[in-house]
Amino acid sequence: MSFQFPESFLWGGAIAANQVEGAHITDGKGLSTSDVQPNGAFGELVERQDGDFNIKDVAIDFYHRYPEDIALFSEMGFTCLRLSIAWSRIFPNGNDAEPNEAGLAYYDKVFDELEKHNITPLVTLSHYEMPLNLAQKYQGWASRDVIGFFTQYAETVFKRYGHRVKRWLTFNEINVTLHEPFTGSGLPRDCDEQTRFQAIHHQLVASAKAVKLCHDLIPDAKIGNMILGAMLYPRTCHPNDMVKTLVQNREWLMFGDIQARGYYPSYMTRKFKEMGVELTITEADKEDLKETIDFISFSYYMTGCASADPQEMEKADANMLQMIANPYLQASEWGWQIDPVGLRYLLNFLYDRYQKPLFIVENGLGAKDVLNDEGVVEDDYRIAYLNDHLYQVGEAIQDGVEVMGYTSWGPIDLVSASTAQMSKRYGFIYVDRNDQGEGSLARKPKKSFYWYKDMIQSRGANLAAPE
């Protein structure tokens, strides 16, 4: 395409502490909710027994190998790395009086390394984890006390790293508590709606408080939210399908609406009434919520359809988002429907709604890669996926949407969040480790590594138009 992305556009990849670092109890780290899910996959708390295998205990050993990995990211031309801080490295129990210095020192070293390579960090405060102690003793985010523990953590890291980290996100996919309450909020899967929405409310207040702290402590920083952009289309153009789609999309839009506008949208009044939910929202909460984010960030993997017809709804996919399949789209090996044009649509839609800059902080294809006879992964399918999505990002920018950057998910193979598989690979860099934890952990660039490198260098000039 003749279009080139703006010079200021940030290019890179996104990782999460619990999916890459390993070292799950090293240097004083406490256990987190992610360490006690079944082998690390989505689900409920399982008591850990000595000798239990959990793939995330080592993950890809980024904890020790970050210099090598960051050097590889730099070779690809990354100008940005999205990463998260493990809250339980800094406050092992969540409610400790003092932070764990060894945990703080670890991220100092990671940021040193990024600085060495001129890579801008984009830091998520909480990516699918919280100190386990807070889930066990306080029922996770169901307790208002957790707001205080989180703000203490946020303040600690803002003060420690604020001189060098200028881009922040509060909670990863803050809407995930709707689908995976333990992962999102440390709640049991069968929690009632009252508890779930009260926990969500506490998290939204904590997010706004962190935004305020960031604005006060690091005035030249920008802080955003992060939502799982699970957009639905109407299954047909029947007006009832249109309304159903509107209502269902508001389930995830509610989060961004509050974080970007500073108050609950009026449509939630009816929704809460229908669910029999009565939230405790104090006057102080209302004041706190008024502190709004500077930009919107989101993950984008798939779209789906909604329908007012109960028979159609029965066909909804069994994956966590309960979407009806779109007959015009193909799906990945894990049934996630691939929709590059939907990304252009979503960028325009969100920009129209909020008029704030947008950042695509996750997008990518999970696939089973195979090494060829030379030991290389020829992942043309991944190149095609990324090409098609980035092409549509370019279209959206030309539509007038302000896009700050793009960090593809898992630039290096990592442990899957939903399934705990290593074999669901997203990376430009292959990691020698299988689902049983066997392998040397050696890193090796895939074909897509060189494609992404060229793409960044040419600022998207070599992206192919859709056929």
Closest-CA residue to 360 (of 350, 368, 369, 370): 350
Within 10 Å of residue 109's Cβ, how many Cβ atoms? Answer: 11
CB of 433 to ligand BG6, least distance (A): 15
The residue annotated as part of the active site, out of 173, 362, 395, 402, is: 362
Nearest residue to ligand BG6 on Cβ basis:
418
Amino acid found at 457 = Q
Candidates 107-115, 134-142, 272-280, 414-422; binding stretch for ligand BG6 (CB under 6 A): 414-422
343 binds ligand BG6 (CB under 6 A): no
Radius of gyration of the chain (CA): 21
CA quadruple 391, 396, 399, 401: dihedral positive or negative? Answer: negative
173 binds ligand BG6 (CB under 6 A): yes
Candidates 255-263, 316-324, 325-333, 418-426; binding stretch for ligand BG6 (CB under 6 A): 418-426
At 138, phi and psi to the nearest 5? -120, 5
CB of 228 to ligand BG6, least distance (A): 6
At 354, phi and psi to the nearest 5? -115, -25
Catalytic residue list contains 155: no
Residue selected from 111, 295, 359, 409 as contacting ligand BG6 according to rule CB under 6 A: 409
Q: What is the DSSP string of 426-450?
A: --SEEE---TTS-S---EEE-HHHH
Q: Are 24 and 57 in contact (CB under 8 A)?
A: yes
Within 10 Å of residue 376's Cβ, how many Cβ atoms? Answer: 14
344: left (phi over 0), alpha (psi -120 to 50) or beta: alpha
Residue selected from 92, 224, 229, 366 as contacting ligand BG6 according to rule CB under 6 A: 366
Q: Per-residue x/- mask for ligand BG6, residues 227 to 246, rule CB under 6 A?
A: -x------------------
362 binds ligand BG6 (CB under 6 A): yes
Q: Are 244 and 307 in contact (CB under 8 A)?
A: yes
Q: Per-residue x/- mask for ligand BG6, residues 211 to 230, rule CB under 6 A?
A: -----------------x--
449 binds ligand BG6 (CB under 6 A): no
CB of 365 to ligand BG6, least distance (A): 10
126 binds ligand BG6 (CB under 6 A): no
CB of 457 to ligand BG6, least distance (A): 27
Residue closer to ligand BG6 (CB basis): 100 or 207 = 207
417 binds ligand BG6 (CB under 6 A): yes
Q: How far apart are CA 408 and CA 410, in angstroms?
A: 6
Residue closer to ligand BG6 (CB basis): 99 or 427 = 427
Residue selected from 139, 292, 299, 307 as contacting ligand BG6 according to rule CB under 6 A: 299
Candidates 197-205, 248-256, 258-266, 412-420; binding stretch for ligand BG6 (CB under 6 A): 412-420
Residue selected from 87, 106, 128, 451 as contacting ligand BG6 according to rule CB under 6 A: 128
107 binds ligand BG6 (CB under 6 A): no
Residue closer to ligand BG6 (CB basis): 364 or 460 = 364
CB-based contacts of 336: which residues, under 8 Å, 6+ apart?
A: 301, 302, 319, 366
427 binds ligand BG6 (CB under 6 A): no
418 binds ligand BG6 (CB under 6 A): yes
Q: What is the DSSP string of 121-176?
A: EEEEEESS--BHHHHHHH-GGGSTHHHHHHHHHHHHHHHHHTTT--EEEEETTGGG
Tokens of 429: 């860099």
Q: Are 307 and 313 in contact (CB under 8 A)?
A: yes
At 264, phi and psi to the nearest 5? -70, 135
CB of 17 to ligand BG6, least distance (A): 10
Residue closer to ligand BG6 (CB basis): 177 or 299 = 299
Residue closer to ligand BG6 (CB basis): 15 or 397 = 15
Q: How far apart are CA 197 and CA 195, in angstroms?
A: 6
Residue selected from 143, 172, 225, 408 as contacting ligand BG6 according to rule CB under 6 A: 172
Within 10 Å of residue 220's Cβ, how many Cβ atoms? Answer: 7
Closest-CA residue to 392 (of 256, 300, 324, 257): 300
C-alpha triplet 67, 160, 9: angle, nearest 5° = 60
Three-class SS of residue 58?
coil
Residue closer to ligand BG6 (CB basis): 289 or 431 = 431
Q: Are 445 and 69 in contact (CB under 8 A)?
A: no
Residues forming the active site: 362
Task: Give contact residues for ligand BG6 (rule: CB under 6 A).
Answer: 16, 19, 128, 172-173, 228, 299, 362, 366, 409, 416-419, 424
